Amino acid sequence: MKELILKKITLRKRWSLSIFITCIILMWAGLFILLYYAFSDDNSYLNFPFLLILFICLVFSTLGIYMFKFFNAYITTVNQLSEKESSIFVGQGILRPFAEQWLPSFIIYQDKVQFFKIFNQPAYTFTDIKSIHFKRFNFTRSRQDCRITIQLVNGTKHHYHVHGNLTQRIYLKNEALAGNPKIMIDDQYA
């Protein structure tokens, strides 16, 4: 099972990064073409578009680094899954929408949950969690999202937006309570 998951994630990584890198290369090429025309004649009106495209190129180049780290975090996490957790991952994937089938918002493994965002991928052990709060969130991309608020024992709160899939919420609740029966679950989604 783990090999199948890694194969699917690697395929999505390869496609996503290839498309993204192609876009970055085209933006940088456009920037150099604009730079050539800006300095070949006295085209001072091209200074603002040049700076704007330069800024966009730098932002997208930085975002590419975070995308690479994002996919590597998935691969690292999947490598730590046991066979039972891998089969649960595949079983849950059938119930998730296509975009999250192999790249879910969170993965539960070894009595901890790891959330995946583009800029960071925090993991929390269930013993460090004091409460989990589920709340219905706005419709986005023609679906109903769920806002999960994790409150740690030290008092800090972390908010995550995931797909409002009932089986994912039930799975997170059951695994959290199995890992730490003292966790307070507040499900205001329904």
Q: What is the value of pTM for the model shown? A: 0.84
* CA dist., res. 99 & res. 76, Å (int): 20
The CATH classification number of 84-188 equals 2.30.29.30
The arithmetic mean of pLDDT across residues 169-182, rounded, is: 92
Domain ranges of the chain: 2-78, 84-188
* CA dist., res. 185 & res. 74, Å (int): 26
- Whose CA is closest to 118, among 165, 65, 49, 80? 65
Structure-block tokens of residue 184? 């307070």
97-155 confidence digits (pLDDT tens): 887 889 999 999 999 999 999 899 999 999 999 999 998 877 665 566 888 999 999 99
Helix 83-95 / helix 2-40 crossing angle, nearest 10 deg: 60
- Asked if residues 70 and 116 have their Cβ atoms less than 8 Å apart, the reply is yes
57-70 confidence digits (pLDDT tens): 899 889 989 999 99
Report whether pLDDT(37) > 80.
no
- Whose CA is closest to 8, among 105, 114, 90? 90
Average pLDDT, the chain: 88
